[in-house]
Amino acid sequence: MITCIGIACSPRRQGNTSLLLEHALEGAARGGARTELIALSDYSFMPCQGCNACSSDGECILKDDMQQIYQKLLAADRLILAAPIFSMNLNAQAKALIDRSQRFWSTKFILKRPVITDATARPKRAGIFLSTCGTAFPDMFDCAAKVVRYYFDMLEIKYEGGHFYWRIDAKGAIINHPTAFQEVFEAGRRLVSQG
């Protein structure tokens, strides 16, 4: 059975991106995956300190809740990352998650070792990105999507695209969107059905 994890990066419980994630994970479950929703706000971890210790062994020396998330990231076959736009980019919690994943970047690009050591024995990893923003500026998701593509590459996860919703600002405003929940449900189902 494929394992699909969803990471909710917004600090807002039951906020727009978390609601999207719930529907996407429902789709993944309908597609036959074992799913888990990880709310980042339940975990306490420091921002990356830039010590570069991971460049010598691919490990992070900070012993906090991120150690649990590392294990989940490594074990997952599918990843759905859900994060809102704050100040034209990913919100700080999502960025902290990515910065703290520097150990995987070091593994791949400095130590030149695979992040997933048993990749041939596992389903190919793939993921999608879900986001909302308050404004209607067409390029509002450009920076965030770029960072998430970089992140997925670091994690040896094929980026299967993003689902972005503009003019969604108040908590729960996404509920009134005519197609969003159905779209991400289908995206979640598709994600676990391929490969």
Ligand X SMILES: Cc1cc2nc3c(=O)[nH]c(=O)nc-3n(C[C@H](O)[C@H](O)[C@H](O)COP(=O)(O)O)c2cc1C
Q: Which chain residues interact with ligand X by CB under 6 A? A: 10, 12, 15-18, 84-88, 132-135, 140, 168-169, 171
Contact 154, 106 (CB under 8 A): no
Q: Which is nearer to ligand X, 46 or 88 (CB)?
A: 88
Q: Which is nearer to ligand X, 13 or 122 (CB)?
A: 13
Q: Which is nearer to ligand X, 91 or 102 (CB)?
A: 91
As given in the structure block, the two tokens for residue 168 are 């969604």
B/e letters for 87-108, b = 16+ CB within 10 Å, e = fewer, are eebbbebbbbbbbbbbbbbbbb
The minimum distance between CB 50 and ligand X, in angstroms, equals 24
- Provide, rounded to whole angstroms, the least separation between the CB of residue 43 and ligand X: 17
CB of 45 to ligand X, least distance (A): 19
Residue 131 contacts residue 88 (beta carbons within 8 Å): no
Q: Please identify the residue of the shown chain whose CB is closest to the bound ligand X.
A: 15
**Helix or strand run (H / E) with residue 13:** none
Least CB distance from residue 135 to ligand X, whole Å?
Answer: 3
Nearer to ligand X, 60 or 168 (CB): 168
Greatest Cα-to-Cα distance within the chain, rounded to the nearest angstrom: 50
